[in-house]
């Protein structure tokens, strides 16, 4: 069978039309030769989402945005999604618009609800949402900072205005005078510093000797501290306590009249006898001093001893009479 030129021309025209339709549909986000599911999502704002934007589930591209239509009555935007995957999408799944990076545009992210076993049919509406992107987060963080900078700018402007009011001509002159006086003070301080440095240079050896002596004293003190730390202080304190206890015992015996010293302190009769003996000894010494020949008599001619004469000041006799 011979195909005529007219038939060939007709086939070529039909093929061109079909190819044009397929190309146009492909550019519009529709694939005529692939089966897919269609879902719709309603948004108040699509945040710059465009047709043919990828649709992902857990980062895997499963479809694309086929169209975005503006509803006349409500002003809301209806986004049509083409899903090529056979993954079951529940009716309670969330469809978020998100920004994957700073450079790329907006995309669609489906967050499936795995606990819901009710699968959404093709042509169903799903719940939409908007996930803040990196740009939105940065803008959210920068907004308070911008407000603080604006407030700081206003405060600085007010401060400068007040300073201009305070720094009038008289105040500026006083400030200049104060600065000049400060310069003079600094100059005097510089001269004093030079004098102190000169004094230190002249007495460098003396200062060195003082430092050496101080180091020596510190070393000696350290040695003394080491010796004290090594000494058996506990044993010394114990010995001292024992000695004090013995002294307390001796004093107690003395107070109670025990022992020779205790009897001497507490026995009145012993004290009186001791006093009499002392006075008699005193009288004897007095008589020896006044009449030595009575006790030491050396005579070549047999001279008789002188009779004993009581001294005028006889302390013993007076004591007896009293």
Could you read off the pLDDT of 137-181 as tens digits, one per residue?
677 777 788 888 888 888 888 888 877 777 777 777 888 888 988
Q: Same domain for 72 and 11? A: no
**Alpha-carbon span 266 to 252, nearest angstrom:** 12
The pLDDT tens digits for 198-240 are 888 888 788 888 888 888 888 877 777 676 666 666 777 788 8
Among 131, 164, 184, the domain-final residue is 131
The residue among 55, 60, 64, 133 whose CA lies nearest residue 95 is 55
**Top-confidence residue, 184 or 133:** 184
The pLDDT tens digits for 61-77 are 998 898 999 888 888 99
In a domain, 54, yes or no: yes
**Predicted confidence (pLDDT) at residue 40 exceeds the cutoff of 90:** yes
The pLDDT tens digits for 301-319 are 455 555 555 555 555 454 4
Query: Percent of the chain beyond pLDDT 70?
Result: 77
The pLDDT tens digits for 63-112 are 889 899 988 888 899 999 998 888 889 999 999 999 887 776 889 999 99
Q: Same domain for 25 and 65? A: no
What are the CA-CA distances from residue 94 to residues 85, 90, 91, 134, 251 (Å)? 17, 9, 9, 20, 104
The structure tokens listed for 91 are 């009716």
In a domain, 7, yes or no: yes
The residue among 130, 142, 143 whose CA lies nearest residue 47 is 130
**Top-confidence residue, 42 or 131:** 42
Non-local (6+) Cβ contacts of 51 within 8 A are 28, 29, 65, 66, 67, 68
Provide the 3-class DSSP secondary structure of residue 156. helix
In a domain, 150, yes or no: no
**Alpha-carbon span 127 to 40, nearest angstrom:** 9
Q: Same domain for 25 and 88? A: no
pLDDT, average across residues 279-304: 69
pLDDT at 217: 84
Alpha carbon of residue 75 to chain centroid = 58
Torsion angle in degrees (nearest 10) through CA of 135, 140, 146, 148:
-150
In a domain, 60, yes or no: yes
Mean pLDDT over the full length of the chain: 79
pLDDT at 300: 46
Q: Same domain for 53 and 74? A: yes
In this prediction the pTM is 0.39
Q: Same domain for 116 and 78? A: yes
pLDDT at 57: 92
In a domain, 81, yes or no: yes
Task: Count up the domains in the chain and report the number.
Answer: 3
Q: Same domain for 29 and 66? A: no
Residue 305's domain comprises 268-321
In a domain, 208, yes or no: no
Q: Same domain for 54 and 107? A: yes
Q: Same domain for 20 and 59? A: no
**Alpha-carbon span 129 to 42, nearest angstrom:** 9
The residue among 105, 101, 108, 97 whose CA lies nearest residue 45 is 97
Non-local (6+) Cβ contacts of 48 within 8 A are 105, 106
In a domain, 286, yes or no: yes
pLDDT at 164: 75
Q: Same domain for 29 and 5? A: yes
**DSSP β-ladder status, 107-111 and 94-98:** antiparallel
Concatenate the DSSP letters of all residues of 33-77 into one string: TS--EEEEEEES--TT--TT-EEEETTEEEEEEEEEEE-TTT--E
């Amino acid at each position: 069978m011979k195909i005529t030129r007219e038939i060939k021309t007709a086939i070529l025209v039909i093929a061109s039309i079909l190819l044009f339709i397929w190309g146009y549909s492909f550019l519009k986000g529709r694939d005529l030769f692939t089966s897919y599911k269609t879902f719709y999502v309603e948004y108040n704002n699509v945040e710059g989402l465009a047709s043919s934007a990828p649709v992902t589930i857990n980062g895997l591209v499963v479809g694309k945005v086929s169209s975005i239509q503006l509803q006349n009555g409500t002003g809301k935007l209806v986004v049509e999604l083409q899903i090529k995957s056979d993954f079951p999408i529940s009716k309670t799944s969330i469809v978020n618009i998100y920004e994957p990076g700073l450079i790329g545009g907006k995309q669609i992210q489906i967050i499936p609800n795995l606990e819901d076993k009710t699968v959404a049919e093709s042509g169903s509406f799903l719940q939409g949402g908007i996930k803040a992107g990196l740009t939105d987060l940065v803008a959210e963080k920068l907004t308070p900072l911008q407000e603080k900078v604006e407030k700081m700018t206003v405060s600085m402007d007010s401060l400068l205005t007040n300073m201009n009011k305070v720094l009038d001509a008289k105040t500026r002159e006083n400030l200049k005078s104060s600065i000049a006086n400060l310069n003079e003070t600094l100059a005097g301080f510089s001269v004093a510093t030079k004098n102190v440095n000169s004094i230190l240079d002249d007495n460098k050896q003396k200062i060195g000797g003082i430092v050496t002596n101080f180091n020596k004293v510190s070393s000696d003190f350290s040695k003394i501290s080491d010796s004290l730390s090594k000494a058996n202080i506990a044993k010394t304190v114990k010995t001292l306590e024992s000695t004090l206890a013995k002294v307390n015992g001796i004093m107690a015996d003395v107070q109670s009249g025990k022992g020779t010293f205790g009897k001497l302190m507490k026995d009145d009769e012993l004290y009186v006898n001791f006093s009499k003996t002392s006075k008699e000894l005193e009288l004897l010494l007095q008589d020896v001093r006044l009449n030595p020949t009575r006790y030491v008599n050396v005579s070549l001619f047999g001279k008789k001893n002188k009779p004993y004469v009581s001294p005028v000041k006889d302390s013993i006799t007076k004591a007896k009479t009293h």
